[in-house]
Structures are given as C-alpha cells and as structure tokens.
Amino acid sequence: MELTGKQVRHLRALGHHLKPVVMIGKNEINEEVVRSTEAALEAHELIKVKLQEGCDLDRREAADILSEKTDSAIAQILGKTFLLYRPSDKRRIEFP
C-alpha cells in the first residue's frame, strides 16, 4: 500500500496525539504481536507502535516487517515509535 505525500502528512497530524497501542519487546515480532496489530488496525485504522528497550530490531526493520505482515502502510517512523495505517471497511479516516 502506497500513500501520497498529502496522505502521509494528514496521517502524521492525526497520529501525533495517539498513545502506542502495540509494544514490541524482547520477543520481537511474533504471532501474538501480529494478531494484536491486526486487531488494533481493524478497530482504529491508524495506530502507534513502540519499540521497547529489550527489542534488538532496528526501528525501520521492525516497521517494514510488521507492515508487510499486516498489509498496512508506514505513515511515520520517529524515534522508537512508528505509525501504521490500513483502511478498514468502516472508513473512519477521510483524506482531504
């Protein structure tokens, strides 16, 4: 899934105030993390994921792996957090 520049800016603005709903720890990306990410994306469309101290994955590598496994787009990578977006059937986020 590819996003345009305007879509990315809109998603980054919406995601600024979000709290992380998925945490990646020392177990890194396993089936449980993928399932919880899938559920969060279905419920919210835009989620913030945080890498915890015990995670050995690079932030870009973790974002790439999780976005590929959940068929979502990376809207932003900033520090130890990143935003993932995947539209759901209910379409909560409308782009300008």
Domain tally, the chain: 1
Range of the domain at 41: 5-84
Residue 16 belongs to some domain of the structure = yes
pLDDT tens profile 70-86: 999 999 999 999 999 99
Residue 93 belongs to some domain of the structure = no
Q: What is the CATH number of the domain that holds 9?
A: 3.30.110.60
pLDDT tens profile 16-44: 999 999 999 998 899 999 999 999 999 99
So what's the pLDDT on residue 23?
94
So what's the pLDDT on residue 89?
79
Residue 90 belongs to some domain of the structure = no
So what's the pLDDT on residue 74?
95
Choose between 85 and 95: higher pLDDT: 85
14 neighbors 93 (Cβ within 8 angstroms): yes
So what's the pLDDT on residue 86?
93
The answer to pTM > 0.75 is yes
